[in-house]
Amino acid sequence: MNHSTFKQLTLALVAAISIFMVQCKNEKPPAENETPPAPAATISKAAYGTTPDGQAVDKFTMKNKQGMQVDVITYGGIITSWTAPDKAGNYANVVLGYDSLAQYLRATPYFGAIIGRYGNRIAKGKFSLDGKEYKLETNDGPNTLHGGVKGFDKVVWTASEQPVDNGAALKLTYVSKDGEGGYPGTLTSTVVYHLTDDNALEVSYEATTDKKTIVNLTQHSYFNLSGDFTKNILDHELTIDADKFLPVDATLIPTGELKPVENTPFDFRQPKTIGRDIEQKDDQLTKGKGYDHCWALNGQGFRKVSTAYHAGTGRLLEISTDEPGIQFYCGNFLDGTLPMPGGGTYAHRTGFCLETQHYPDSPNQSSFPTTTLAPGEKYATKTTFKFSTK
């Protein structure tokens, strides 16, 4: 082959390849009436304020493909807003909260917060490990509630975006010093909020320690699925998959008994409204001022344990967890004193919490599943909140 033939062949080949590529490109012209692909989930960050001791607080906003939006601040890992669609597809915020850091700093009944190092109550603020007694700060009458005076709901967490295939995720980390609040061991905790594209929020908790300690983390969102916080939650239909609940004493510490829910107002095995039995004459309802109890969940492993449904809007919330218990609290202490964004105040029972967790006071009740964590062990638990409509 002489030089010019080679050149001609090369040119012909280049021309053929170019034509082929153009054809490939034109093979699938975009159909004019084709719906554009759904926008990818996003996560963004904005400054939210500064704590009195000078720590910067950020707000992260996660939005999934469908439009569900979850706002999380690094103070307390608080979910300040969480939108969910009604049966007409309209998104509204369904969790109680505030619209400024100042209000969260002033007074909050744990709105939307991460709770730790020990969620729920520890009797008389003390417990023993390996024969050594530890004294905690008491902040609920004689008892310690939700970690103590400065629990994980009142600290600034370090946040980083987590890469995920489906939706958006935020990882929060907090290192609690040995002796903080009276608890032994340096506890490193991480909480990942993962908003999936099918309208679920997966909350994954992990913790490790350098000394034997106790841990029981949970999430304290107050839901009102109507999206209208001037209405109470008594019309929501609830299920809790539990044959037994934990009766409490006058200070809301479990007596140690696991009592069958059968023939009591505590039976939510079939859907019933929160309000149906709440005014019944019942010693436990009197002690809790309504429902403020832990249910001993049926089954083990990760399973669906509870549902809440608001017929008016069609919003359905399904909760799955690997935890043995769930504290159902129906906003009995909301008394019209806390301000609502946009005006007004949060009235009695305008939100309910479903806090998946180990049983209250486990460190002092040897018959309850253990909440002890030793060096070399990993605490890992997961709870999913899934929204849909029906």
Active site residues: 220, 355
Q: Which two tokens stand for residue 52?
A: 């009195």
- The minimum distance between CB 333 and ligand GLA, in angstroms, equals 5
- 8 A C-beta contact, residue 325 and residue 297: yes
> Which residues would be at the binding site for ligand GLA (CB under 6 A)?
109-110, 145, 252, 292, 327, 329, 333, 353
Q: Which is nearer to ligand GLA, 157 or 329 (CB)?
A: 329
For ligand GLA, the closer of residues 110 and 193 by Cβ is 110
Nearer to ligand GLA (CB atom), residue 109 or residue 324: 109
Closest distance to ligand GLA from the beta carbon of 367 (Å) = 21
* CA 227/CA 86 separation, integer angstroms: 9
Cα–Cα distance, 39 to 198 (Å, whole number): 14
Quote the CA–CA distance of 106 and 138 in Å, as a whole number.
19
In the structure encoding, which two tokens stand for residue 12, read together? 């012909």
Query: By beta-carbon distance, which residue lies closest to ligand GLA?
Result: 109
CB of 278 to ligand GLA, least distance (A): 15
The nearer residue to ligand GLA, 62 or 248, going by C-beta atoms, is 248
* Sign of the CA dihedral with 349 first, then 69, 385, and 190 last: negative
Report the distance separating Cα 128 and Cα 270, nearest Å.
39
Q: Which amino acid is at 387?
A: F
Whole-angstrom Cα Rg for the chain: 26
Q: How far is the CB of 87 from ligand GLA (least distance, A)?
A: 29
Measured distance CA(90)–CA(317) in Å, rounded: 16
Least CB distance to ligand GLA at residue 31 (A): 53
Which of 86/355 has CB closer to ligand GLA? 355
Q: Is 234 within 8 Å of 350 (Cβ atoms)?
A: no
Q: What is the smallest separation between the CB atom of 220 and ligand GLA, expressed in angstroms? A: 7
Helix (H, G, I), strand (E, B) or coil at 69: strand
Residue 128 vs 286, nearer CB to ligand GLA: 286
